[in-house]
Amino acid sequence: MKHFESLTNLRAYEVNHFDIETLRISSQCLKSNPLGDSAVRFNPLLLPKNKGSWPVVLVLGGFSGNAPFYFNPKFNEQNTIQIIDQAVGRGEAPEALYVFVDALTTWGGSQFLNSAAVGNYEDYIMTEIIPALGHYTVSKDPKDWCVMGGSSGGYGALQLASKYPETFGMCAAIAPDSFFEASITHDLYQALPVWEKYGQSGLRVLEELRNGKLTKFRNWHSLLNAFGMSACYSPKDSSGDFHYPIDPRTGNKVVEIWNQWLEKDPVHFLPKRLPTLKKLAGLYLDVGTKDNFHLQYGARQISAMLSVNGVPHDYVEFDGNHFDIGDRRPEVWKWLTANWRK
């Protein structure tokens, strides 16, 4: 059964070094997902105009965002696609097949994991998108394949590269979600009264999200983050319900549930994947010193762990916060360009 088609992408600006197509996936992995999100996914591609066996850059979006959104025109500034195109012209971004993964969910993201409460987004990427790219003239060498992203996308990059080094030889993570103790605890406690109000039911909270009531809270993004991550990290069953890691009466962590979260925390799972990490041809970590979610602490722990265990990597801290990470993508492209020229 054919699960992909090439489509022309509607756009409102010129791109000099690429053709734009859309990889349409009728996903069997996402079919009948518990949130009822569409299984038909549209993944925009940048195809170099020059022929060749191209390297591949898989781009993952952040939470409550989606990589295909990078194609949207912006007022009074260039979007990501225009910036890539110009960087290629200057020799500061690789001439590669760029794939912008469509993985948006009702909760705002999937963390690019398989979750009984969200859907099988890891399988969607690995068993549907990746094979479909064989339709194009791409390199078969893992060192010519990079998975990259920021925030939740950075988390996804670390998650996928550390599991599938035979596919992704290169990994670039900007401010990746990590060290949950510091990065998400605040939002979990922000959402705790709402969790109690709605009867400690993920399905009830989901209903309130769908009818627009959840987003009327002033701290709605914190609520979305807390509940969305719960659906990803501690799903209850395929109904879409999930467990919450904080007891609403005592405020204490529910140890069994919190341990499920820690298993998904890069600070905890990456040390267990050292053999696969050592297979990577390149690993880049980048984070702001003033990250709003304190992600610099997780990044520092990851870098230290990699160094102690002899895993080569490039680590950069920039003077900025979490909402500056879009400006860091050109640094990833420069890093890739330098590595792929070796």
User: What is the CATH classification number for the domain harbouring 23?
Assistant: 3.40.50.1820
Same domain for 246 and 308, yes or no, is no
pLDDT tens string 28-56: 999 999 999 999 999 999 999 998 899 99
Query: Same domain for 144 and 24?
Result: yes
Structural domain including 233 reads 181-263
Co-location of 172 and 195 in the same domain: no
Same domain, residue pair 66 and 161: yes
Torsion of CA 91, 59, 331, 316, to 10 degrees: -150
Same domain, 120 and 227: no
In this prediction, residue 3 carries a pLDDT of: 52
Lowest mean pLDDT of 3-7, 38-42, 64-68, 116-120, name the range. 3-7
Average pLDDT score over residue span 194-217? 95
* Domain final position from 263, 289, 312: 263
Do 282 and 200 share a structural domain? no
pTM for this prediction: 0.95
> Comparing 52 with 281, which gets the higher pLDDT?
281
186 and 166 part of one domain: no
- 288 and 157 together in one domain: yes
Do 130 and 193 lie in one domain? The reply is no
| Averaged pLDDT score across all residues of the chain | 95
Whether 299 has a pLDDT exceeding 80, the answer reads yes
> Is residue 1 pLDDT above 50, yes or no?
no
Distance CA 291, CA 293 (A): 5
Whether residues 109 and 191 share a domain: the answer is: no
* Dihedral (CA of 174, 178, 180, 181) sign: negative
Is the confidence at residue 213, as pLDDT, over 60?
yes
pLDDT above 60 for 9: no
Mean local confidence (pLDDT), 92-97: 97
Which of 213, 228, 263 is the last residue before a domain boundary? 263
Q: Is the pLDDT of residue 90 over 90?
A: yes
Q: How confident is the model at residue 11 (pLDDT cuts 50, 70, 90)?
A: low
User: Tell me, what's the pLDDT at 2?
Assistant: 42
Number of domains in the chain: 2
Confidence of residue 329 (pLDDT cuts 50, 70, 90): very high
Domain boundary among 263, 278, 300: 263
How large is the average pLDDT for residues 298-326?
97
Q: How confident is the model over 246-272, as a mean pLDDT? A: 98
**98, pLDDT greater than 70:** yes
